[in-house]
């Protein structure tokens, strides 16, 4: 299918001859104050959500429970991102025919180091238009209390997602959304439950082919798996230096430049206090994907064009080697479009949900 590109709309506005320069300046200042107020509101909600999640983590002994985060209230305001601001601060209207969408439930799967918390903007935006977002913590992520050093397989890492799908009613389907290495978990789920997944959306994610490891996608940036396992300074040896590495985590300053080069400062601050080490075993495991199961799935890919973790060239290679049904592109987005381009991401998710 042809590429659908989500681009910023440039609107220079009209310059009236009668309006005074001072009145225009006052209008701009009022608009800026309004946007800042909306941003402050949304970040207060994020902080409240993070606190609530922390309280939940103290309440549950078994952190592997899958749970939904975010209120069911539809009163939250959307925060315009760069695309909307370039259009005079006015957000594009969401299509009125969303009631006709058959599959309304989105299951959001985070990438390495993240947790369900990273989707807070996407959750708010999807709920506001009547869709049903469910964000899950993978094993050892977010508020799940499992020690990441004990997670050795993709099946263990993906267990919250697999349990969720197992418990779905027989007549219910969902749309899966995967970020980064969460793509491997979604691919694993597509192989196990092709009949329960209406569509799978890979957001700058590891959409691998049969027999490929998630790590192989990053080989161009990180080198071979053997070299990474021997030389990387980011490895974690949870069982002692004399034993194989159990996880990895980038140093915070490096993480800021890699993951969040276009993200708002407050979202970066939220990430810096929320991200956790990632288990190494799941990304080193080769996936077994068959034509009869995984091959029958409807897959879509969202490329991020200012991505320093998974470069646009690597993403282009992924969709070339394992072609999805549709490809979308977000200009000006880093590796975390849920932070840097939330409105653009939202519009694409809604558009994909509407595809028959």
Of the residues 141, 335, 340, 344, which is catalytic?
Answer: 335
pLDDT band at 233 (very low <50, low <70, confident <90, very high): confident
Of the residues 158, 180, 333, 340, which is catalytic?
Answer: 180
pLDDT tens for 4-25 read: 444 333 334 444 444 444 444 5
pLDDT tens for 69-86 read: 333 333 333 334 444 333
Average pLDDT, the chain: 80
Task: Name the range with the highest mean pLDDT among 15-29, 92-106, 207-221.
Answer: 207-221
pLDDT at 38 over 80: no
pLDDT tens for 131-167 read: 999 999 999 999 999 999 999 999 999 999 999 999 9
Percent of the chain residues topping a pLDDT of 70: 69
Q: Return the pLDDT at 10.
A: 37
Give yes or no: 267 in active site: no
pLDDT band at 234 (very low <50, low <70, confident <90, very high): confident
Q: Which residue has the tokens 């940036």?
A: 221
pLDDT at 51 over 90: no
Please give the model's pTM, rounded to 2 decimal places: 0.75
Give yes or no: 52 in active site: no
Of the residues 307, 311, 334, 346, which is catalytic?
Answer: 307
pLDDT tens for 271-324 read: 999 999 999 999 999 999 999 999 999 999 999 999 999 999 999 999 999 999
Taking the CA atoms of residue 203, residue 205, residue 207 and residue 212 in that order, the dihedral angle to the nearest 10 degrees is 180
Give yes or no: 171 in active site: no
Is residue 134 packed enough to be buried (19+ CB in 10 Å), middle (13-18) or exposed (0-12)? buried
**Distance linking the first and last C-alpha atoms of the chain:** 14
Task: Name the range with the highest mean pLDDT among 46-50, 137-141, 235-239.
Answer: 137-141
Contact between 35 and 343 under an 8 Å Cβ cutoff? The reply is no
């Amino acid at each position: 299918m042809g590429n659908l590109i989500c681009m910023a709309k440039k609107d220079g506005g009209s310059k009236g001859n009668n309006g005074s320069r001072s009145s225009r300046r006052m209008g701009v200042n009022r608009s800026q104050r309004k946007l800042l107020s909306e941003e402050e509101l949304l970040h207060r909600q994020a902080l409240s959500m993070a606190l609530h999640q922390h309280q939940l983590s103290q309440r549950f002994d078994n952190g592997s429970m899958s749970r939904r985060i975010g209120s069911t209230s539809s009163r939250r305001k959307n925060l315009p991102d760069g695309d909307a601001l370039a259009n005079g601060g006015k957000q594009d209207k969401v299509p009125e025919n969303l009631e006709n969408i058959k599959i309304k439930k989105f299951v959001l799967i985070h990438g390495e180091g993240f947790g369900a918390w990273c989707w807070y903007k996407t959750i708010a935006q999807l709920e506001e238009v009547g869709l049903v977002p469910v964000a899950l913590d993978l094993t050892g992520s977010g508020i799940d209390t499992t020690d990441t050093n004990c997670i050795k397989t993709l099946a263990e890492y993906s267990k919250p997602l697999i349990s969720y799908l197992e418990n779905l009613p027989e007549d219910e389907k969902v749309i899966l959304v995967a970020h980064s290495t969460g793509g491997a978990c979604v691919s694993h789920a597509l192989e196990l439950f092709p009949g329960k997944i209406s569509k799978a959306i890979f957001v700058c994610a590891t959409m691998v082919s049969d027999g490929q490891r998630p790590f192989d996608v990053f080989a161009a940036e990180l080198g071979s798996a053997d070299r990474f396992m021997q030389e990387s300074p980011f490895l974690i040896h949870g069982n002692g230096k004399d034993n194989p590495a159990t996880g990895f985590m980038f140093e915070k300053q490096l993480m800021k430049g890699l993951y969040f080069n276009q993200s708002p400062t407050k979202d970066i601050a939220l990430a810096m206090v929320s991200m956790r080490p990632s288990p190494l075993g799941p990304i080193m495991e080769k996936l077994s994907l068959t034509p009869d199961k995984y091959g029958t799935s409807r897959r879509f890919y969202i490329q991020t064009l200012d991505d320093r973790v998974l470069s646009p060239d690597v993403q282009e290679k992924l969709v070339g080697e394992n072609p999805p049904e549709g490809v979308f592109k977000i200009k000006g987005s880093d590796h975390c479009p849920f932070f840097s381009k939330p409105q653009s991401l939202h519009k694409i998710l809604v558009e994909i949900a509407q595809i028959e």
